[in-house]
Structure 1
Amino acid sequence: MDCLFCKIAAGTIPVTRLYENDHVLAFPDISPQAPVHVLVIPKKHLASHAHGTAEDAAVYGELLAAAGEVAKAQGLDNGYRMVINTGADGGQTVGHLHVHLLGGRPMHWPPG
């Protein structure tokens, strides 16, 4: 498979691993949009949120739980934002489900 995030999960492409368990991996975004910008990915390939099924509910739970652990470790005590871009119109640029964890500054609404 020629998926960037699958290669990262497999260790073929090195990243700073901020959090990892059997099912998910978190690492810094290479183009940060906030002082803290971490990507949390499932190790299982899912092309996007739209491609998940009820059988993937545990994976979604692992993603959110991992994001919370990373937020604590990064000292985001005043809050943070989690974003899942889905499809081209949703701004998804890598075809592998991922959560953006953003923090370290006030977030505004609407995001854009």
Structure 2
Amino acid sequence: MAELDKDCLFCKIIRGEVPSYTIFENDDVKAFLDLSQVNPGHTLMVPKKHIANFFDYTADDAQRFLKYIPAIANAIKNYDPKITGMNISTNNGASANQVVMHSHIHFVPRFEGDGLKIVTRNNEANYTEADYQKIAEQIKAQF
């Protein structure tokens, strides 16, 4: 496990220095219950390589670590027949509310009437066709 950081909380969990409620683990990833339990079964999946967030992933990292998302999501969904959906998300960077700077994916089971609100906003009225085109072209240029 040479690719782990000595001071990172999730690296400590991977090494077994901090206890966790592990639901899945192999040579590539570890998935464990988030102590906040936004809803029952709320799980985090982390790569067993210290990567700060998706901005630092290589194509090989993505192929190696992200392939487990469907299996973990389905295992969580299948543990409780009342689960009717799931938010699968990641926060990349402090401005996006990333708290632990080790890449992780949240799996938040959803239940009918659970009251959990994911807040977004619609700014469509603030954009013209020219605005959309300019943004799209600027992003395309990054590939």
TM more than 0.5? yes
The structure carrying a bigger helix percent of its residues is 2
Aligned-pair Cα RMSD in Å: 2.2
Asked if residue 93 in structure 1 is aligned to residue 99 in structure 2, the reply is yes
Question: Do 1:27 and 1:40's aligned partners in 2 also have CA atoms closer than 8 Å?
Answer: yes
Shift of 1:63: 4.0
1:33-79 CA-partner distances (Å, limit 9, x unpaired) = 12221111111111111111112122342341343243244336522
Instruction: Say which of 49, 53, 56 aligns to 2:58.
Output: 53
How far apart are the structure 1 equivalents of 2:79 and 2:51? 26
How far apart are the structure 1 equivalents of 2:78 and 2:15? 23
Ranges in structure 1 where 5+ consecutive residues have no aligned partner: none
What's 2:19 paired with? 14
Structure with max Cα Rg = 2
Q: Taking CA–CA contacts closer than 8 Å with sequence separation of 6 or more, which of the two structures ends up with the larger relative contact order?
A: 1
SS of 2:30's equivalent in the other structure is: strand
Cα 1:66–1:24, aligned 2, differ >3 Å: closer, same or farther? farther
Calculate the TM-score normalised by the size of structure 1: 0.84
Give the partner amino acid of 1:26: A
How far apart are the structure 1 equivalents of 2:70 and 2:63? 10
Ranges in structure 2 where 5+ consecutive residues have no aligned partner: 1-5, 122-143
Asked if residue 81 in structure 1 is aligned to residue 87 in structure 2, the reply is yes
How far apart are the structure 2 equivalents of 1:30 and 1:111? 25
